[in-house]
Amino acid sequence: AQSVTQLDSHVSVSEGTPVLLRCNYSSSYSPSLFWYVQHPNKGLQLLLKYTSAATLVKGINGFEAEFKKSETSFHLTKPSAHMSDAAEYFCASRGSTLGRLYFGRGTQLTVWP
Amino acid sequence: GAGVSQSPSNKVTEKGKDVELRCDPISGHTALYWYRQSLGQGLEFLIYFQGNSAPDKSGLPSDRFSAERTGGSVSTLTIQRTQQEDSAVYLCATASRREGDTQYFGPGTRLTVL
């Protein structure tokens, strides 16, 4: 069985400071992993994905994530937060090609000026 | 190109009524998924269509929920005899192997059951 745990339901940072959103996965094999962002009243937008190539994945808007098999983690980072990064972020895993996604409960990111 | 579109964007209905939610996929995407997003339950998988294969209905919460995909394109999610707990945002996503299996999401339909 697969599951995804996002360790923080809320994260607050000041503009210009680093962002860390934590995600752990549970799977009997190496899944594909994704980070999506959702702005208010919008659909989900893909930030980045890991599919067993490079373990450090770069995404849009300066975000990146590192796949660590030994820690079963896929944390999302950004060196410097911007006000426009304020949104809800979802980590997800997928087992089989074109299979359904298993989502974490989401992390609400607040960015203070 | 055009993304995934969903209609209506908002739907308010009375308890006990039936509703239909529509999803128009990205052209050529063979896989189509329905998810539900609610405050208490987060993002839940409902159903998945892939080409001509039998759909994976394992996420449908009750027999009041059904979905079909006509001609491998447009999909309709039907909820019969709606209940207040059906109030949620219903999200559709589509994917294709040509695009690396990434699921692209529509803007969702917000359903409110009074």
CATH number (domain holding residue A103): 2.60.40.10
- Chain B hits for A43, Cβ within 8 Å: 4, 91, 105-108
Q: Kindly report, residue by residue over A64-92, the tens digit of the pLDDT.
A: 999 998 899 999 999 999 999 999 999 99
Alpha helix positions (H), B50-106: none
Min Cα distance B59 → chain A (Å) is 10
pLDDT at res. A97 = 72
Residue of A nearest to B50 (CA): A98
Please give the tally of structural domains in chain A: 1
Q: Print the domain residue range for B70.
A: 5-113
Q: Does B45 touch chain A (CB under 8 A)?
A: yes
pLDDT of amino acid B111: 97
CA angle, B40 as apex, B37 and B43 as ends, to 5°? 30
pLDDT score for A99: 84
Tokens of B84: 């207040």
CB contacts of B49 in chain A (<8 Å) are none
Q: Which domain holds residue A10?
A: 3-112
Residue B107 identity: P
Best mutation target among B7, B38, B105 (most A Cβ atoms within 10 Å) is B105
Q: Count of domains in chain B? A: 1
The CA distance from B90 to A22, in Å, is 26
With pLDDT > 90 as the criterion, what percentage of chain A qualifies? 75
CA angle in degrees (0–180, nearest 5) for B60-B61-B67: 35
What's the CATH code of the domain at B108? 2.60.40.10
pLDDT tens for each residue of B36-74: 999 877 899 999 998 888 899 999 999 999 999 988 789
- Biggest CA-to-CA distance, chain B: 42
pLDDT digits (tens, 9 = 90+) for B11-29: 999 999 999 999 999 998 9
Between chains, do A44 and B93 touch, taking CB under 8 Å as contact? yes
Least Cα separation, residue A105 to chain B (angstroms):
5
Across the interface, which of A34, A36, A103 has its CB nearest the CB of B42? A103
Q: Does A89 touch chain B (CB under 8 A)?
A: no
Q: What are phi and psi of A62, to 5 degrees?
A: 80, 5
pLDDT band at A54 (very low <50, low <70, confident <90, very high): confident
Q: Which long-range contacts (CB under 8 A, 24 or more apart) does A104-107 make?
A: A104/A4, A104/A5, A104/A6, A104/A23, A104/B42, A105/A6, A105/A9, A105/B42, A106/A6, A106/A9, A106/A38, A106/B42, A106/B43, A107/A6, A107/A8, A107/A9, A107/A10, A107/A11, A107/A21, A107/A22
Residues B22, A112: Cα–Cα separation, whole Å: 38
How many of the other CB atoms lie within 10 Å of CB of A48? 19
